[in-house]
């Protein structure tokens, strides 16, 4: 009996020592660059996983006091190894600069491993956004393989992804997975409505994404993923200006209070007295965000963004003005004003078996008011009206308004018992009443060929209302066939209804009769991925995209609209490879065939009519290389070699079959060499090269523009909470045009910016609480 009591006492004593050796560790894991909480970070020691962060980025675990090293792991981030972890710490994790096997959200609306997505997708990281110090989005988007975003001045732009440079609705722009404008009311300047100060990263899907997002996602879809409120108090204030009259102030602040996160992000930019005449502009962008973590399974997020933009519209230059570097403007009153307000509330539910449900309800207001330079036409022309008045021109002032409300919903179901299969079911509903009105203006052109002033008349060129209703449903299925081979398939049905009411009669410029048009399509997608090992794999896919006519193509400047949707078939093969820790490479080859493209046809009576005509073929190879050449030197190359050809295409009575499409460079490349010396901590320097190859200026292939090469230099330095930078854009002062077009009126050049020095300073307000050790 005595022996048994003695043994029990010894066990109790040893157990008490064991308990006394246990230490409670608590803290948060956040992103090094944004201070956002990271959910799902795996915490381990001695190769044994024992904890993970919750939706707030928080962790809590018990370990013995003699634990010497704790490892924090998260896809897309460098592993964090800490010795002597404090009992309460904020762990900052650094995004990896080379790992391709990262999480992406644009392929399935939820975070998904890159290796599971058989698509060509690229990510612009927070770090790249921060270091570029871009004053326009094209300065970062043009770093992506296959992308050429064309600068048209003052953040105005157009796009080319797997397409020539054009102004059609072939690209879909999203914010956190929700389109920023409704289908059918595409505007090539839509990214004016983005708040660059609130971006966390940008994901670019190249090729048709209609099976998930519907129409307009033909050349590609660009998803702007916004910042979430930080886990700790953070703030930033920056000022910058350049030698071309540009000034800008950025501001942000965010924090989390237990389960509630709050953030504000914005900037004000303006330009006056730039190198080019009539190029002043103002823009205010402001975003408010909140998120609330109800519990470990339910979250709510709300945001509202306001954009106010006004800019002069200088118009393009003819060849004489361009090559003589005469940047005076023929226009004195043309302008554009944009007001945009959008808001959404998103609910996420995470089920026990890792299944997920998302519902987002949104509302948008978009208004564009303009006196556009591209609508100004001379009364006199030697071929059309040789007796016209040389001091008279014609134009219009117009306003395009659209209000939207709708929802996006998706449920993703995991089937762990079926080789990790995943099924996603989704739908979207978009109700968008649209109004457009245009007044005729008579323009006085003086003897110096300057459009000096105008008189607005009561004459209405266009005055209509259109009710847009867009309903889409889709299903995605993903399943492993073997440990390395995975199949992914998707099918989507869309129906777009236009209920058109014209307030003008048939004799008007826009004389289309009242009508109800509808367009519907089923768009499939199927792909395979084969993974050799983590971060190394191949993919192949077929996808289809469709593009219904825009409202402006159906009803503006026409009498009887009879148009079919354009259809595109895309075939693609590609791969992504990580060679050690220092070199990564991704590549995709594609062929996309277009049918029923909408063109403007010149009729015998001199009027124009939109018609379906022609077939096109787009072929290319896109590639990206990231190479850590040494401890401090990083090289990046993004490029695309492509061919865009008319297979069957007639326009204005001319047959362009087998011609190269106009404004279609055969090679576009962007490369950058960055240096961060270890002996000079927090200093960076980079040299960037942007190349655009020669291309035909028109579909008739009658003349070529030789393209251009420009170089940009960037420096930056951080000292404690202060950051300073200097960028020299177009360092060699190259005369170049971002796009050149030829028409019966002559050659038209959109001049690129001359050499521009940009200098900025920022102060970061950081919380001083204890950081990781």
Q: Domain boundaries in the chain?
A: 2-93, 103-222, 223-766
Mean pLDDT throughout 77-91?
84
Give the range among 58-72, 254-268, 461-475, 643-657 with minimum mean pLDDT: 58-72
Radius of gyration for the alpha carbons in the chain, expressed in angstroms and rounded: 28
pLDDT score of 278 more than 80: yes
Answer for the pair 65, 93: CB distance below 8 angstroms, yes or no.
no
d(CA 148, CA 518): 33
| pLDDT at residue 316 is higher than 60 | yes
Domains 103-222 and 223-766 agree in fold: no
Nearest residue to 194 via CA among 168, 170, 224, 217: 224
Of the pLDDT bands very low, low, confident and very high (cuts 50, 70, 90), residue 8 is: low
pLDDT-based confidence at residue 15 (cuts at 50, 70, 90):
very low
579 vs 306, residue with greater confidence: 306
What is the model's pLDDT at position 510? Answer: 87
Looking at per-residue confidence, does 258 or 12 come out higher?
A: 258
Instruction: Answer yes or no: is pLDDT of 535 > 80.
Output: no
**Residue 135 and residue 142 in contact, taking contact as beta carbons nearer than 8 Å:** no
**pLDDT value of residue 550:** 84
Residue 20 has pLDDT above 70, yes or no: no
Instruction: Identify the bridge partners of residue 674 per DSSP, sorted by sequence position.
Output: 634, 686
Quote the CATH superfamily of domain 223-766.
Answer: TonB-dependent receptor, beta-barrel domain (2.40.170.20)
Mean pLDDT of 742-750: 87
Question: Which residue from 223, 222, 218 is spatially nearest to 590, judged by alpha carbons?
Answer: 218
Instruction: Give the mean model confidence (pLDDT) for residues 194-213.
Output: 93
Res. 604: pLDDT tops 70: no
> Which string of b and e fits 346-384 if b means at least 16 CB within 10 Å?
bebebeeeebbbbebbbebebebebbbbebbebbeeeee
Q: Which pLDDT value is given to residue 559?
A: 67
What average pLDDT does this structure show over 221-246? 95
- 384 φ/ψ sector (left φ>0, alpha ψ -120 to 50, else beta): alpha
pLDDT of residue 766: 76
Q: Which of 26-30, 226-230, 348-352, 763-767 has the lowest mean pLDDT?
A: 763-767
Give CA–CA dist 642/650, Å, rounded.
Answer: 22
| pLDDT computed for residue 599 by the predictor | 64
Closest alpha carbon to 170 in 690, 661, 696: 661
The answer on pLDDT for 268 being more than 90 is yes
CA separation for the pair 438, 369 (Å, rounded): 10
pLDDT at residue 556 in the model: 81
Tell whether the model's pLDDT for residue 740 goes beyond 70: yes
Q: What is the signed CA dihedral for 206, 211, 214, 217, rounded to 10 degrees?
A: 10
CB-count exposure of residue 675 (10 Å: 0-12, 13-18, 19+): middle
Residue 14 above 50 pLDDT? Answer: no
Q: Which of 231-240, 367-376, 384-393, 723-732 has the lowest mean pLDDT?
A: 384-393
Distance (Å, rounded) from C-alpha 180 to C-alpha 167? 17
Which one has a higher pLDDT value, 143 or 679?
143
Number of neighbours of residue 266 by Cβ within 10 angstroms: 20
Output the CA–CA distances (angstroms, integers) from residue 223 to 144, 178, 328, 404, 602, in the order listed: 13, 8, 37, 19, 37
d(CA 2, CA 284): 84
Spatial separation of the C-alpha atoms in residues 43 and 61, rounded to whole Å: 9
- Regarding predicted confidence, which is higher, 106 or 99? 106
The residue behind tokens 């900052």 is 92
For residues 114 and 668, which has the higher predicted lDDT (pLDDT)?
A: 668
Coil, helix or strand for 263? strand
pLDDT of residue 101: 59
Q: Which pLDDT value is given to residue 96? A: 78
Q: Which of 182-191, 402-411, 670-679, 687-696 has the lowest mean pLDDT?
A: 182-191
Question: What is the per-residue pLDDT for 384?
Answer: 76
User: SS in 3 state form for 500-514?
Assistant: EEECCCCCCCCCCCC
Q: What is the spatial distance between Cα 28 and Cα 50, in angstroms, rounded to a whole number?
A: 16
pLDDT of 419: 78
pLDDT of residue 13: 43
Q: How confident is the model at residue 18 (pLDDT cuts 50, 70, 90)?
A: very low
Q: Pick the residue with more confidence: 558 or 444?
A: 444
Q: How far is CA 11 from CA 23, 50, 62, 242, in A?
A: 21, 26, 21, 75
498, pLDDT greater than 80: yes
Name the band, by pLDDT with cuts 50, 70 and 90, for residue 773: very low
- What is the pLDDT averaged over residues 747-762? 95
Position 612 scores a pLDDT of 73
Please state the rounded mean pLDDT for residues 719-724.
94
563: left (phi over 0), alpha (psi -120 to 50) or beta: beta
Please tell me the least confidently modeled range out of 490-499, 559-568, 704-713.
559-568
Spell out a b/e string for 571-600, using b for 16 or more CB atoms within 10 Å of the CB, else e.
ebbbbbbbeeeeebbbbbbbebebbbbbbe
Q: Residues 655-690: pLDDT tens digits?
A: 889 999 999 999 999 999 999 998 899 999 999 999
pLDDT in tens, 520-533: 999 999 999 999 87
Pair of tokens at residue 59? 């962790």
Give burial (CB, 10 Å; 0-12/13-18/19+) of 280: middle
**What's the mean pLDDT when you consider all of the chain?**
89
Could you tell me if 553 and 504 are in contact, meaning their C-beta atoms sit under 8 angstroms apart?
no
- Give, as one character, the DSSP assignment of residue 549: P
- So what CATH class is 103-222? mainly beta
Whole-model pTM: value is 0.93
pLDDT at 202: 95
pLDDT classification of 315: cutoffs 50, 70, 90: confident
pLDDT at 701: 94
Kindly state the DSSP code that residue 660 receives in the 8-state scheme. B
What pLDDT sits at residue 560?
64
Confidence at residue 97, expressed as pLDDT on a 0 to 100 scale: 67
Domain 2-93 architecture: Sandwich (2.60)
**Which pLDDT value is given to residue 686?**
97
pLDDT at position 400 over 90: yes
Q: Which two tokens stand for residue 220?
A: 């590609």
């Amino acid at each position: 009996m005595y022996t048994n009591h003695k043994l029990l006492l010894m066990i109790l004593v040893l157990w008490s020592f064991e308990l006394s050796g246990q230490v409670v560790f608590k803290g948060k894991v956040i992103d090094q660059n944004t201070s956002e909480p990271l959910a799902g970070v795996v915490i381990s020691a001695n190769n044994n996983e024992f904890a993970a962060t919750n939706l707030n980025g928080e962790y809590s675990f018990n370990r013995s006091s003699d634990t010497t090293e704790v490892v924090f792991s998260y896809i897309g981030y460098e592993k964090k190894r800490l010795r002597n972890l404090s009992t309460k710490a904020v762990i900052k994790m650094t995004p990896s600069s080379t790992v391709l096997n990262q999480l992406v959200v644009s392929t399935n609306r939820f975070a998904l491993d890159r290796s599971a997505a058989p698509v060509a997708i690229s990510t612009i990281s927070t770090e790249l956004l921060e270091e570029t110090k871009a004053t326009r989005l094209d300065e970062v988007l043009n770093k992506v393989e296959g992308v050429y975003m064309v600068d048209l001045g003052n953040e105005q732009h157009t796009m080319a992804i797997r397409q020539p440079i054009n102004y059609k609705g072939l690209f879909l722009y999203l914010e956190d997975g929700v389109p920023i404008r409704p289908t059918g009311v595409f505007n090539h300047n839509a990214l004016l409505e983005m708040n660059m100060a609130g971006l966390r990263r940008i994901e670019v899907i190249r090729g048709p994404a209609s099976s998930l997002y519907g129409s307009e996602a033909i050349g590609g879809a660009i998803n702007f993923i916004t910042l979430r409120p930080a886990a700790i108090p953070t703030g930033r204030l920056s000022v910058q200006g350049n030698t071309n009259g540009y000034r800008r102030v950025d501001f942000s602040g965010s924090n989390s209070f237990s389960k509630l996160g709050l953030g504000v992000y914005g900037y004000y930019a303006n330009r006056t007295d730039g190198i080019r005449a009539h190029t002043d502009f103002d823009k205010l962008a402001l975003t408010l965000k909140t998120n609330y973590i109800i519990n470990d399974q339910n979250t709510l997020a709300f945001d509202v963004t306001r954009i106010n933009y006004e800019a002069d519209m200088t118009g393009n230059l003819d060849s004489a003005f361009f090559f003589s570097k005469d940047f005076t403007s023929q226009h004195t009153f043309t302008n554009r004003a944009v007001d945009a307000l959008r808001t959404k509330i998103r609910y996420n539910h995470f089920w026990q078996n890792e299944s997920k449900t998302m519902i987002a309800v949104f509302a948008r207001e978009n208004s564009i008011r303009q006196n556009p330079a591209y609508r100004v036409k001379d009364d006199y022309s030697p071929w059309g009206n040789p007796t016209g008045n040389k001091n008279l021109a014609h134009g219009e002032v117009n306003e395009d308004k659209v209000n939207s409300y709708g929802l996006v919903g998706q449920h993703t179901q995991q089937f762990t018992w079926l080789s990790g299969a995943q099924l996603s079911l989704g739908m979207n509903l978009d109700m968008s009443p649209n109004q457009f009105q245009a007044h005729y203006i008579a323009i006085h052109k003086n003897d110096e060929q300057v459009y000096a002033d105008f008189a607005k008349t009561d004459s209405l060129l266009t005055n209509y209302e259109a009710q847009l209703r867009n309903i889409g449903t889709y299903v995605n299925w993903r399943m492993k066939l073997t440990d390395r081979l995975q199949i992914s398939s998707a099918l989507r049905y869309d129906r777009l209804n236009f209920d058109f009411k014209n307030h003008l009669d048939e004799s008007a410029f826009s004389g289309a009769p009242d009508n109800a048009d509808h367009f519907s399509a089923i768009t499939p997608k199927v792909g395979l991925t084969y993974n050799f090992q983590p971060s190394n794999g191949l993919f192949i896919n077929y996808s289809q995209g469709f593009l219904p006519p825009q409202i402006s193509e159906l009803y503006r400047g026409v009498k009887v609209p009879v148009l079919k949707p354009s259809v595109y078939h895309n075939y693609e093969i590609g791969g992504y490879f990580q060679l050690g820790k220092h070199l990564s490479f991704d590549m995709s080859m594609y062929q996309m065939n277009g049918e029923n493209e909408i063109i403007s046809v010149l009729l015998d009576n001199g009027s124009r009519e939109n018609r379906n005509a022609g077939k096109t073929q787009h072929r290319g190879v896109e590639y990206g290389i990231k190479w850590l050449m040494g401890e401090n030197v990083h090289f990046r190359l993004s490029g695309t070699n492509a061919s865009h050809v008319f297979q069957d295409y007639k326009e204005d009575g001319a047959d362009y079959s087998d011609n190269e499409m106009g404004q279609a460079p055969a090679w576009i490349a962007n490369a950058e060499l960055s240096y961060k010396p270890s002996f000079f901590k927090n200093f960076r320097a980079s040299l960037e090269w942007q190349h655009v190859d020669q291309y035909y200026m028109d579909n008739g292939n009658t003349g070529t523009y030789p393209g251009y090469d420009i170089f940009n230099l960037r420096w930056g330095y951080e000292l404690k909470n202060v950051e300073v930078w200097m960028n020299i854009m177009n360092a060699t002062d190259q005369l170049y045009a971002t796009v050149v077009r030829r028409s019966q009126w002559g050659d038209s050049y959109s001049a690129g910016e001359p050499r521009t020095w940009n200098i900025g300073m920022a102060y970061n307000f950081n919380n001083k609480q204890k950081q990781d050790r």
